[in-house]
Amino acid sequence: MRSVPPITIILLAGLAGCAFFPNWHWEKRGAAAGEYDQDVTFCKQRTYSGVDGMVTDESVRRMHGCMEAKGWRKVQN
């Protein structure tokens, strides 16, 4: 059995790490300090309350729709 070169392990770990960080963020012109936290908490409660914890494409769309309705927009990092 051949061993895996260390560089391969490093590259795979780096790629796996990128999967945990989105390439976008929410932005709202003129947002007050703490407004993002309030809005995201509100939208999460509204979107995911009464759900069994399963995140679906539909629930993600509802979450994004709620944030957009509050004036937030997705911006590329």
1 — pLDDT class (breaks 50, 70, 90): low
Do the beta carbons of residue 72 and residue 27 sit within 8 Å?
yes
3-class DSSP assignment, residue 29: coil
2-11, 17-26, 30-39: lowest mean pLDDT where?
2-11
Write out pLDDT tens, residues 35-70: 999 999 999 999 988 878 788 999 999 999 999 999
Can you tell me the distance from the alpha carbon of 75 to that of 77, in angstroms, rounded to the nearest whole number?
A: 6
Indicate yes or no: pTM above 0.75: no
Burial class (CB in 10 A: 0-12, 13-18, 19+), 64: middle
Give first-to-last CA distance, the chain, whole Å: 42
